[in-house]
Amino acid sequence: MILCCGDALIDMLPATDATGTPTFTPTPGGAVYNTAIALGRMGTEVGFCSGFSTDMFGAALCQGLKAANVDCRHLIFSDHPTTLAFVTLRDGQARYTFYDENTAGRMITPQDMPQIGPETRALFLGGISLAADPGAGTYAAFLANKAASRVVMLDPNIRPSFIRDTASYRARLSAMMAQSDIVKLSDEDLHWLQGPGSLADLARTLLSMGPKLVLITEGAKGAHGYFGAHHVFEPAQKVVVADTVGAGDTFNAGVLTALACANRLEKSAIAALDAPLVAQMLRLGNAAAAITVSRVGANPPFAHEIPL
């Protein structure tokens, strides 16, 4: 099983009512939540770990997980409210305003985190859950405790407007990336972290920190995989874009599904990746993401919808 650990929230998506008045529609979301849903829809064994509210939004989030066959045994319930993210779209690109103070997802502590058994072969972490304490420190400690025995994939999915203490955030990410087997970043995230430079040079700087595979997505261009001295690129599939909500999250699920299908969810296997498998990981990630961006909101595909 792949255990996804991190943000689950309600995306308030822009809409209009029957009179044409602008409004918002509440929709379950969050970067890590979307990845878990996509993994479940693709038929990959997956569980979810996060702080969940007992409010009506928390119930909706639980319902979404169960509908996608995501294991919910590791959810951490409290009476804190659910995080809300108001979404605005500009040329199909999503921008977010978060309401996260004192929420169920943010207020978890190391003592809340579950014990996990050998059935959990890999961990996936990321999203805004890595940006604010106490939750951010909780996930960092969980990763540090489990990284030696399980494959770890990390996607920070950086939201600069959400970050209050940039120095602490950068230090936390550096430590977590050094302990991860796979790090995925968008090109925008890469430049935010590393500054100007070529994708190849910046990605190889990240590789030198400890990860065995660095994945860089470039939106409509495609995705890169850097490992050892190797580089693999797979172009994105061309589709009519409705919006980009959940694109990177779905890409992550495609990557992990390809690894699971190849029975390579082992640390030794990640350290010995070859170009054909990395290309397959990128192709499945791109194909799944292409379907998501062709739909409104984060609506990942099921396995039978992905043409490969």
d(CA 38, CA 61): 14
The percent of residues in the chain predicted with pLDDT above 90, rounded, is: 87
Polymer length of the chain: 308
pTM score, two decimals? 0.95
pLDDT digits over 156-167, tens only?
999 998 899 999
Measured in degrees and rounded to the nearest 5, phi and psi for residue 68 equal -95, 10
Domain ranges of the chain: 2-302
Q: Does the pLDDT at position 95 exceed 90? A: no
Q: Does the pLDDT at position 94 exceed 80? A: no
Beta strands in 144-246 (DSSP E): 151-155, 182-186, 213-217, 222-227, 230-235
Q: Categorize the per-residue pLDDT at 92 as very low, low, confident or very high, splitting at 50, 70 and 90.
A: low
When pLDDT is averaged across residues 288-300 and rounded to a whole number, the result is 91
| Mean pLDDT taken over the chain | 95
CATH superfamily for domain 2-302 = Ribokinase (3.40.1190.20)
The percent of residues in the chain predicted with pLDDT above 70, rounded, is: 99
24 to 100, 249, 260: CA distances (angstroms): 18, 22, 37
154 to 37, 59, 178, 274: CA distances (angstroms): 17, 27, 10, 20
Q: Where is 193: in which H helix or E strand? A: helix 187-194
When pLDDT is averaged across residues 65-77 and rounded to a whole number, the result is 97
194 to 208, 247, 249: CA distances (angstroms): 13, 22, 22
Q: Does the pLDDT at position 233 exceed 70? A: yes
Q: Categorize the per-residue pLDDT at 68 as very low, low, confident or very high, splitting at 50, 70 and 90.
A: very high
Task: Tell me what pLDDT residue 30 has.
Answer: 94
- The closest of 123, 113, 117, 114 to 2, measured between CA atoms, is 123
Task: Tell me what pLDDT residue 209 has.
Answer: 96
Q: Categorize the per-residue pLDDT at 18 as very low, low, confident or very high, splitting at 50, 70 and 90.
A: confident
* Residues facing 13 on adjacent strands: 25
Q: Categorize the per-residue pLDDT at 308 as very low, low, confident or very high, splitting at 50, 70 and 90.
A: low
Q: Does the pLDDT at position 87 exceed 90? A: no
Q: Which residue type occupies 251?
A: F
Residues 6+ apart with CB under 8 A from 179: 143, 144, 147, 152, 210
d(CA 283, CA 289): 10
